[in-house]
Amino acid sequence: MRTKTVSSRNGLLAGGNWIIDQVKLIDVYPQPEQLANIQSQAQGTGGAPYNVLIDLARLGADFPLFGAGLVGEDSLGELILQDGQKHKIDARFLRKTADAPTSYTDVMTEIGHGRRTFFHNRGANALWAGEDLDFQKCRARIFHLGYLLLLDALDQPDKSFGTKAARLLAKARDAGIKTSVDVVSENSDRFSKIVTPSLKHVDFCILNEIEAGKTAGFTIRQSNGQLDTVALRHTAGALLQHGVRELVVIHFPEGAFARTRKGEDYWQSSLVLPPKYIAGTAGAGDAFCAGVLLGLHEGWDLGRCLLTGVCVATASLADPTCTNGVKSLSSALALAKKFRLRSSLEPKE
């Protein structure tokens, strides 16, 4: 599959959660009233638009990058704005508010296997409804929105569209922009109510296996932890039946699977990494998303898009923050030669 692009538009607009991650490396996650030791800590980016845009900037994307959302009138908000300026992200739709602090997350990352636990302050992100977005004035080719389920104002009901997020995505499509969404992983039954209404206004749906399964009503992991490739394909098909217009991409530690509206299936294995390579898994999903969106923007073959996503995610894993592990596109793609691919995920008929 070679993707089609809108020639009169150029660039990627990303809106939604803007978060500062306080990443703390701990020796063990404690039981209640027990102690864990913080061995080191780092500060980094968090949230779908922030991570994806910084990743694209670090990869050397040669198209315009636009950010949209809300930060607080505080030091963390100023840090985000300065970081965006440093990476040449157009912040015309990224505004300050005095009504809430900048969102932040304490990310407790266990040394050894990178397992994470999040303590999140929703902050200004909860107030952003995208009403100030003028899709006619922004000439971006793709609008990426995330995370559904973590944007309180956009997750609210809408009489005509189901949710406010669905209305915003429809507005973008009416302006001639391709749309993409991501969802936060949470243990709840809200997926069908909040995520599903948006899907008919989405061109590219890029989710992990937990989010995709909960939205479509399938369990993609077997009880022994193995990936259920039959359920995976049913999930992608169900998301398309819910209205996704062009493409569903589902990513997971073993790789990724994509199905197009035409029924074409694509499989991509992840890379086999040394035991000590993974410093943290925070941001790996957004890094994968950035790699795929880069290819979709440029009209690459879908197989190339998926491999790029896997390589950028692999680069992200080398650092405990969400984006500091991502370097140039060439260095990310070089990882596919440095490390071997897992055995093929594609089921044998």
Task: Tell me how long the chain is.
Answer: 349
Mean pLDDT, rounded, for 281-297: 96
Place 7 in a pLDDT band, splitting at 50, 70 and 90. low
Helix axes 302-316, 329-338, angle to 10 degrees: 90
State residue 114's pLDDT score: 72
Average pLDDT on 185-214 reads: 95
Cα(92)–Cα(94) distance, integer angstroms: 6
Amino acid code (one letter) for 103: S
Q: What mean pLDDT comes out for the span 259-280?
A: 94
pLDDT at 112: 76
Answer whether residue 6 shows pLDDT above 50.
no
With a cut of 90, say whether residue 213 has pLDDT above it: yes
* Average confidence score pLDDT of the chain: 94
pLDDT digits (tens, 9 = 90+) for 63-119: 999 999 999 999 999 999 999 999 999 999 999 999 999 999 998 989 877 788 889
Domains located in the chain, CATH noted: 12-338 (3.40.1190.20)
The pLDDT tens digits for 292-335 are 999 999 999 999 999 999 999 999 999 988 999 999 999 999 99
pTM above 0.85, yes or no: yes
